[in-house]
Structure 1
Amino acid sequence: MIEIDGTRLRLADITTAAAGGTEVTLTPSAVERMAASQLSARATARARPVYGRSTGVGANRSVTLDPTDTDMHGLNLLRSHAVDAGRALDRETVRAMLVIRLSQLAAGASGINPAIAEALVEMLNRDALPEVREFGGIGTADLPALAGTALTLLGERPTMDGGIIPESLNGWATEDALPFISSSALTIAQAVLGHQKLAVLVENLTLVSALSFTAMSGNPEAFSPEVARASDSAAVGDMATTLHGLVAGTGVAARIQDPYCLRTLPQVLGAVTEELASLESLLNRLVVAGHENPMVFGSETDGTNGVAHHGLFQMTTLARRIDALHLALGTACATNLRRIDLLCDPAFTGLNRFLAADDSGQSGVMMLEYVAAAAAGLVRANAQPASLQTVVLSLGAEEDASFASLAASRLHSTVQALATMTAVELVCSARALRMQGRQPSDFTHPLLRRALETGFMLPAASQDRDLRPDVDAALKLVRLPALGRHR
């Protein structure tokens, strides 16, 4: 059971709930906070105009709503904003979106009826999910995704499985319509899921890189404590220390200076871990942030109630953080590909070219370079900054957009591509170390021993054969924490 209290929500809990099979619940304090926010919003709306409650939205913000129309405008808003297009998103992403929206509502800044949040809890726990499609958001709130969710809660739209939610909500007050959809929960969900998967992959990429380093008898001086202390960022220094510990005692260095793909591992991987940490810090704030526009604050009981119309829904910081992570990953691709290339070179491994069984012209792992290069091309394409895009919409009332939604949606394909590159390098490094006669017991560091043991689970035959099963098996391994250390 995962408790949603509106003050803290671990990213790991979001991924657990997104995977399915784990129920969520709202804490009593969260329900009380939402109820107080609802009273405060109503009191403010009696005293002054409030966007979306007493006015239209977007370019219609100058239109005053009929105060006697308490339901129809809200329904019209949901119906008109529910349009999306493209492929349907997977259950994992939709569940993560709903969990995050619950957490944001529980923060108590929306003024929404707590009964709607309770209905979201039921939707999640019944796994009666809305169908959400990929095109609709532009990084200024995921209006179509959440409006479609509202229609599913009302029974006007079928669930992802084609059913209708039993005991659907009876009506939707105008005062609750905009507060419900005024969120970037889908974009944040995609960012959270991508971040969590990338964090595991980068940990494994570090281990696989250390295996490649060992197979090519790299010089650990590049990771020495002196180098770590002189590093230009704490993340680079930490990565140098990590790599120094991993490769300690693995053999005699073959060269005074290694190629960049080995020597600059602290900078390349450190940059990625630095951006992952920055994105994690931001996401930890966003999953409990009440960014609804307008934001409700204060209390009716002491007369401090009020609202603030704002632009926090513009996810510019999130777009830039994801762009920065993509740039770091795109840079890392060059050294990843070069390590795979050098593992095929007898001058660096002392083995046959392409790690073939003999030197009679067999191709060995030659084609794996092509597979990795194709995956690298996708990561680099995704590294084109989404945050540089802009658009003018709604009769000029909205003259910019962050396109954080685009940046976050790219993370899914980046995860797949990076996993493929890491898997290919694992196949090659494990094969090289096996052919060199190395054993896990040769290694001092327990994580590197475990990584090689895991690598040796891959097929041992080195004669030319279909390598797709090897890559498929390696893909499963590199998606496990620390190459399966918790198996």
Structure 2
Amino acid sequence: MIILTGDTLTLNDLKQVVRDREEVAPGSEAIKRVEETREAVEAIVSNGKIIYGINTGFGKLSDVKIASEDVEILQKNLILSHACGVGDPFSEEVSRAMLLLRANALLKGYSGVRKELVDKLIEFINKGIHPVIPSQGSLGASGDLAPLAHLALALMGEGEVFYSGRREPAGKVLTATNTDPVILKAKEGLALINGTQAMAAAGALAYLDAEEAAEQADYISAMTMEGLQGIIDAFDEDIHLARGHEEQIEVARRMRNYLHGSKLVTRQGDLRVQDAYSLRCIPQVHGASRQTLAYVKKVLETEMNAATDNPLIFEKGGKILSGGNFHGQPVALAMDYLGIAVAEIGNISERRIERLVNPQLNDLPPFLSPQPGLESGAMIMQYVAASLVSENKTLAHPASVDSIPSSGNQEDHVSMGTIAARHGAQIVKNTRRVLAIEMICAMQAAEIRGKVKMGGTTRMLWEEGRKIVPSITKDRVFSEDIERLTIWLEKEQWKMKE
């Protein structure tokens, strides 16, 4: 059970809830804060004091006063009008993460919602009811308005949800699971959609996958070193201490450990003095990407525990302030940075693939083929890797440098953070496939060199990989191998002991 306090949610907690289906519950102190600020909202409604989003219109219509008897209609209309997302839906994982992050944000106690609304979000999580949320349509500045409106629709018993592997009308599923739809009260519609939870949810899951891909890149590149008889001296600790970047030093240490005992790697001068950069600079490149991911993790965990509503209620209603915490700029920049960092892991992996298959760059059979000429072997696998990394280069163009004014120019600078998160997630998926291709080629090359000469860790990785993808003894449909190994890499079975 994960207890939500509004302040302590971690990426590991999110992983447990979203991927391991751990249940959640609200913390008692957090509920107390929610109830105190709700009292302040109800007092505002009863005394007629004008506060944005409680008894006014929204965006450019914020100067329009709403009568007290219409405040509930106002909130419902807000959700209906803003639920205009388009495109394929986010995955169930992203939808579940959005429910989690929205509940956690409301539990900070600055939003003025009822405890019942938080309970409804948590009920959806614990029952596995996941709103169908279109992935396109957010500018990432007034919050993820369109995606979060679709989340709110499901709470109201409208729209669609994923449940037990099916996509069905929300009302039908709520009835079948004895789940009452929520009726939004003053400010609650705005509190649900003012926030960065779509970009943060998609970004958090992309980060978790990117972190694993970075680890896998180290393992797989160590086996490539063996397949190409790489020079292990490039990973000597003194080289990396001389530069001082912690992540670079750590990658070099891991490479030394993975290659410990290997008789396939060489020393400088044995076969050549220096390797190409894609081998020699593995710690520098992988380390820089890990350095970036450390920054992304910090931003995400801060945002996961942030109040991103507007207005925010402080001092038990004594101070109510309109601001811009819904603006997704911190996440947008971090997601663009994540995409670039992971794209580079893919870029250097593809260059290692080229060195494994190109007979002009090694002394292995051309394209690792058992019968070069009659059979093409891994030739087109390199084409696929090149295509994926080229697509990544396009996706890695920063989304955050773009902005289009909206809401009658009231919202005149936006983050495009949700686009950045979506692109980052796709880059991770593409890179994972590139790494799968490198692993297929590295296993084949190491096998040709002599698997008995491999290091203990790389030999273990080779043995596990061979359970998924057999040796290349003749041409076959390699697409199936790539997909099977990619799925294996997405699971946790790939992890080896150093």
Please indicate the TM-score interval, normalised by the length of the shorter structure: over 0.9
Using the TM superposition, give the Cα deviation of residue 235 of structure 1 relative to its aligned residue in structure 2, in angstroms: 2.0
1:283 to 292, 300, 305: 300
Once the two structures are TM-superposed, the CA of residue 127 in structure 1 deviates from its matched residue by: 2.3
SS of match in other structure, 1:399:
coil
Q: Is the alpha carbon distance of 1:159 and 1:19 closer, same or farther for their aligned partners in structure 2, counting shifts above 3 Å?
A: same
2:276 to 247, 251, 259: 259
Q: How many residues align?
A: 479
Question: Following the alignment from structure 1 to structure 2, what is the Cα–Cα distance between the partners of residues 150 and 474?
Answer: 38
- Which sections of structure 1, spanning at least 5 residues, go unmatched? none
Where structure 2 has 5 or more consecutive residues not aligned to the other structure, the ranges are: 163-167
1:150 corresponds to: 152
1:108 equivalenced with 2:109 (yes/no): yes
Letter in structure 2 aligned against 1:469 = E
1:50 — aligned with what?
51
Matches within 5 A, 1:5-404: 5-19=5-19, 21-42=21-42, 49-140=50-141, 141-160=143-162, 161-164=168-171, 165-166=174-175, 167-169=179-181, 171-231=183-243, 233-250=245-262, 251-253=265-267, 254-299=271-316, 305-346=318-359, 349-359=362-372, 361-404=374-417
Deviation digits for residues 127-148 of structure 1, max 9, x if unmatched? 2322211222111111122222
| Cα pair 1:2 1:23 within 8 Å, conserved | yes
* Cα deviations by residue, 1:249-305 (Å, 9 ceiling, x for unpaired): 4232332110011111112111111111111111111111112111222236xxxx3
What amino acid is the match of 1:215? Answer: G
Q: How well do the aligned residues superpose, as a CA RMSD in angstroms? A: 2.2
Deviations 1:14-40 (A, max 9, x none): 233223643222222222121122224
Distance 1:264 1:13 in 2: 34
What is the alpha-carbon distance in structure 1 between the residues aligned to residue 374 and residue 132 of structure 2? 53
Report the AA paired with residue 480 of structure 2: P
Give, in angstroms, the shift of residue 334 of structure 1.
3.2
The CA distance in 1 between the partners of 2:8 and 2:59, in whole Å, is 32
Measure the CA separation in 2 of the matches of 1:21 and 1:219: 45
Pairwise CA distance, 1:158 = 4.1
Give a deviation string over 1:318-360, Cα, whole Å, max 9, x none.
1111111222233333321221111114465532111111445
Deviating more after overlay: 377-386 vs 49-58: 49-58
**1:431 alignment counterpart:** 444
Distance 1:153 1:258 in 2: 58
Distance (whole Å) between structure 2 residues aligned to residue 360 and residue 407 of structure 1: 43
Q: What is residue 450 of structure 1 aligned with on the other side?
A: 460
SS at match of 1:483: coil
1:451 counterpart letter in structure 2: L
SS of corresponding position for 1:134: strand
Pair 146,465 (structure 1): closer, same or farther in 2 beyond 3 Å = closer
Task: State how far apart, in whole Å, the 1-side matches of 2:475 and 2:150 are.
Answer: 52
Structure 1 residue matching 2:334: 3-state secondary structure: helix
Matched, 1:477 2:484: no
The CA distance in 2 between the partners of 1:467 and 1:214, in whole Å, is 23
SS state of the match for residue 333, structure 1? Answer: helix
Taking a change above 3 Å as real, the CA distance of residues 261 and 102 of structure 1, as seen in their structure-2 partners, is: same
Distance apart, 1:380 and its partner CA = 1.1
User: Which amino acid letter does the alignment assign opposite residue 159 of structure 2?
Assistant: R
Runs of 4+ in 1 over 4 A off after TM superposition: 41-48, 346-349
User: 1:216·1:348 contact (CA, 8 Å) conserved in 2?
Assistant: no
Q: Provide the rounded CA distance (Å) in 2 between the counterparts of 1:334 and 1:403.
A: 25
2:293–2:341 Cα contact (<8 Å) kept: no
| C-alpha distance in structure 2 between counterparts of 1:33 and 1:459, whole Å | 58
Offset of 1:242 from its aligned partner? Answer: 2.3
TM-score normalised by structure 1 residue count: 0.92
Preserved CA contact (<8 Å) 1:451 1:482: no
Residue 162 of structure 1: how far off its partner (Å):
2.0
State the AA in 2 paired with 1:4.
L
Amino acid at match of 1:266: P
Give the drift of 1:157. Answer: 3.1
8 A contact 1:129–1:159 mirrored in 2: yes
Per-residue deviation, 1:151: 2.5
1:76-131 CA-to-partner distances (Å, cap 9, x unmatched) read 22221122111122211111110111111111111111100101111222223222
